[in-house]
Amino acid sequence: MSLPTFGFVTVHRRPFADGIAREADWMATSAATGRAVAHLWQGVPGFIVPRRYTLLPAWPSRPADVAVQVRASGGGLVPQGPGLWNLSLAWPVKSAMPDGIEAIYTGMCEQLAAAFARLGLASSTQAVEGSFCDGKYNLAVGGRKLVGTAQAWRRVEGRPVVMAHAVIVVGADPQAITDACNGYETALSTATRYRAEALTSIAREVTGATDIEARTLTVLAEQFARAIPPRIFMERQEHGPARVRDGPAGPG
């Protein structure tokens, strides 16, 4: 199974406090329309955790200003916040029984690597010990994690849909991310700890670029939309959608 053609990528400029719920909505949209959808978005500062974290004795310990969302799938803790961009891809499939999981991971990593190559980065698919939510389908630069990936298969309104997800460290500081993740694991009294040297960012790897976030969003959107300009989606946090326009990814 290969990735579908998405046509355009919607870039959300306002951070989401409910990214997991948004992904469920996008899967529902894909099920209802029969079309593939692609979204780039950021979350408010916080973490997305697997459901098993809710069974920890110290749950739901967290700082007052940190948002924590629970996902149904496995894996580990995933940080959210400024400089961390999520890529969510959803499309209908023939069966809700996972089929072609490896091919989807491979295809997503290949497309991400092709986008990063346009920024001058050579990346590889590999596990990175000591990184958050480690897995063999990380994308790494120089042995340091740059992207984490995940998949979810669901039957939505009777139609099987797959969600492929990547979290990309664009401008966030690896040390700050690691400190935040370790702080939260400590608050939950777990033994899990992460290493800052296991992580990198696009901003760290592409030196001398002052517009690296805008450039990264552009190459990602073009790569997954097959070079069709992305849709830029601006939101008011209080009152819902403000406007939708077509154009290249850039500062909103």
Tens of each residue's pLDDT in the chain, 252 residues: 679 989 899 999 999 999 999 999 999 999 999 999 999 999 999 999 999 999 999 998 877 788 999 998 889 999 999 999 999 999 999 887 778 899 999 999 999 999 999 999 999 999 999 999 999 999 999 999 999 999 999 999 999 999 999 999 999 999 999 999 999 999 999 999 999 999 999 999 998 878 999 999 999 999 999 744 445 554 443 333 332 223 222 222
In a domain, 238, yes or no: yes
pLDDT of residue 238: 36
In a domain, 213, yes or no: yes
In a domain, 81, yes or no: yes
Q: Which helix (H) or strand (E) holds 49?
A: strand 46-50
How buried is 34 (Cβ within 10 angstroms: 0-12 exposed, 13-18 middle, 19+ buried)?
exposed
In a domain, 54, yes or no: yes
State the angle between helix axes of 101-117 and 212-224 in degrees (0 to 180), rounded to the nearest 10: 130
Nearest to 172 by CA among 73, 52, 45: 45
Strands annotated E in 96-182: 124-126, 138-141, 144-156, 159-169
Please give the backbone phi and psi of residue 170, each rounded to the nearest 5 degrees, phi first: -95, -70
Task: Tell me the Ramachandran region of residue 227: left when phi exceeds 0, alpha when psi lies from -120 to 50, beta otherwise.
Answer: left
Residue with tokens 């993740």: 181
Q: What is the pLDDT of residues 62-92, one digit of tens each?
A: 777 889 999 988 899 999 999 999 999 999 9
Residue with tokens 């989807």: 104
In total, how many domains does the chain have?
1
How far is it between the farthest Cα atoms of the chain?
Answer: 50
Strand 159-169 and strand 144-156: pairing?
A: antiparallel
d(CA 60, CA 75): 18
Domain that residue 20 falls in? 10-246
Q: What is the pLDDT of residues 177-201, one digit of tens each?
A: 999 999 999 999 999 999 999 999 9
d(CA 232, CA 230): 6
Q: Which helix (H) or strand (E) holds 246?
A: strand 240-246
In a domain, 1, yes or no: no
CA neighbours within 13 Å on the CB side: how many for 21?
Answer: 5
In a domain, 3, yes or no: no
Residue 216 sits in a domain of what CATH number? 3.30.930.10
Strand 37-41 and strand 10-12: pairing?
A: parallel
Strands annotated E in 170-206: none
In a domain, 85, yes or no: yes
